[in-house]
Structure 1
Amino acid sequence: MHICYVADARSPIAKNWISYLVTRNHQVTVISSYPCALDEIPGARIIQFPIALSSLCALRPNPSSSQADARFRNRILSELRGGKLLAASQQLRTWIAPIDIRRKTRALSAVIDDLRPDVVHAMRLPFEGFIAAASVKNFPLLLSVWGNDFTLFANRSRRLAALTQSALQRADGLHCDCNRDLNLALIRGFRPTKPWRVLPGNGGIHSFFFHAGPDAELLRQFRIPNDAPLVINPRGFRSYVHNESFFRAIPLVLRRIPGAVFLATGMLGHPTAERWIRRTNIAASVRLLPTVSREQLASLFATARVSVSLSSHDGTPNTLLEAMAAGCLPVVGNIDSLREWIVDGENGLMCDPRDPEAIAARIVRALGDSDLRSRANAKNRSLVRTRAEYRKVMENAERFYEEVLNNSRGTREFQPTGCHDCADAELTMRQTL
Structure 2
Amino acid sequence: MRLLFIADGRSPTALNWIEYFVGNGDEVHLVSLYPSSPNLDLASFHIIPITFSKVVASVAKTNHQQMNGREEDIRYTQRKPSLSILTPKIRTTFRHWFVPRSLREASAKLRELIDTINPDIVHAMRIPYEGMVGSLADPKTPLIISVWGNDFTLHAPSTKRMRALTEQAMKKADALHTDCYKDLRLARLWGYTGKQTMVVPGSGGVRGDVFYPSESRTSVVTKKPVVINPRGLRAYIHNDVFFGAIALVMKEYPQAKVLCPAMKGSPQVQRWLERFGLEGEIDLLPKVSRAQMATLFQSASIVVSPSTHDGTPNSLLEAMACGCFPIAGDIESLREWIVPGVNGLLIDPNDSGDLAKAIIVAIENQNLRESAFQINKQLVREKADYQKVMSKVKQFYKALIKYPEQ
TM-score by length of 2: 0.90
| 2:249 aligned partner | 253
* 1-structure distance, mates of 2:60, 2:324: 39
Deviation of 1:228 (Å) = 2.2
Partner secondary structure for residue 324 of structure 1:
helix
Partner secondary structure for residue 175 of structure 1:
strand
Deviation of 1:274 (Å) = 1.0
Deviation of 1:406 (Å) = 2.8
* 2-structure distance, mates of 1:135, 1:380: 41
* 2-structure distance, mates of 1:23, 1:389: 17
Query: Would you say how many aligned residue pairs link Structure 1 and Structure 2?
Result: 383
Deviation of 1:60 (Å) = 5.5
| 1:207 aligned partner | 208
1:131 maps to 2:133: yes
Matches within 5 A, 1:240-389: 240-389=236-385
8 Å CA contact 1:214, 1:303 repeated in 2: no
* 2-structure distance, mates of 1:17, 1:149: 18
8 Å CA contact 1:235, 1:319 repeated in 2: yes
Q: Which stretch of the first structure deviates more once superposed, 273-282 or 114-123? A: 273-282
Deviation of 1:163 (Å) = 1.0
* 2-structure distance, mates of 1:231, 1:21: 35
| 1:5 aligned partner | 5
Structure 1 unpaired stretches of 5+? 63-72, 216-224, 408-433
| 1:167 aligned partner | 169
8 Å CA contact 2:213, 2:323 repeated in 1: no
Q: Write 1 or 2 for the structure with the bigger share of helix.
A: 1
Deviation per CA, 1:65-117, whole angstroms, max 9, x where unpaired? xxxxxxxx94431233xx2xx44332322121111002222222111111111
Deviation per CA, 1:124-179, whole angstroms, max 9, x where unpaired? 00001001001033211110000000011011012211111111111111000000
* 2-structure distance, mates of 1:243, 1:59: 22
| 2:16 aligned partner | 16
* 1-structure distance, mates of 2:365, 2:115: 58
Deviation of 1:304 (Å) = 0.9
* 1-structure distance, mates of 2:309, 2:57: 28
8 Å CA contact 1:10, 1:40 repeated in 2: no
Deviation per CA, 1:188-236, whole angstroms, max 9, x where unpaired? 11114x2110000000001232225289xxxxxxxxx997211000000
Q: Which stretch of the first structure deviates more once superposed, 314-323 or 86-95? A: 86-95
Structure 2 unpaired stretches of 5+? 62-78
* 2-structure distance, mates of 1:209, 1:227: 27
Larger RCO, structure (CA 8 Å, separation 6 or more):
1
Change (3 A) 1:61 1:296: closer
Change (3 A) 1:404 1:111: same
Change (3 A) 1:188 1:245: same
8 Å CA contact 2:89, 2:234 repeated in 1: no
Deviation of 1:40 (Å) = 2.8
Partner secondary structure for residue 189 of structure 2:
helix
| 1:53 aligned partner | 52
Deviation per CA, 1:354-409, whole angstroms, max 9, x where unpaired? 100001000011111111110000000000000000000000000111122139xx
Deviation per CA, 1:316-357, whole angstroms, max 9, x where unpaired? 000110111011000100000000000000000110011000
Q: Which stretch of the first structure deviates more once superposed, 102-111 or 313-322? A: 102-111
Partner letter of residue 103 of structure 2?
I
8 Å CA contact 1:214, 1:300 repeated in 2: no
| 2:65 aligned partner | none
| 1:142 aligned partner | 144
| 2:83 aligned partner | 77
* 1-structure distance, mates of 2:320, 2:59: 37
1:103 maps to 2:105: yes
* 2-structure distance, mates of 1:376, 1:212: 13
Which has the larger Rg? 1
Change (3 A) 1:173 1:362: same
* 2-structure distance, mates of 1:245, 1:129: 32
8 Å CA contact 1:260, 1:285 repeated in 2: no
Partner letter of residue 190 of structure 2?
R
Change (3 A) 1:172 1:318: same
Q: What root-mean-square deviation, in Å, do the aligned CA atoms of Structure 1 and Structure 2 show? A: 2.2
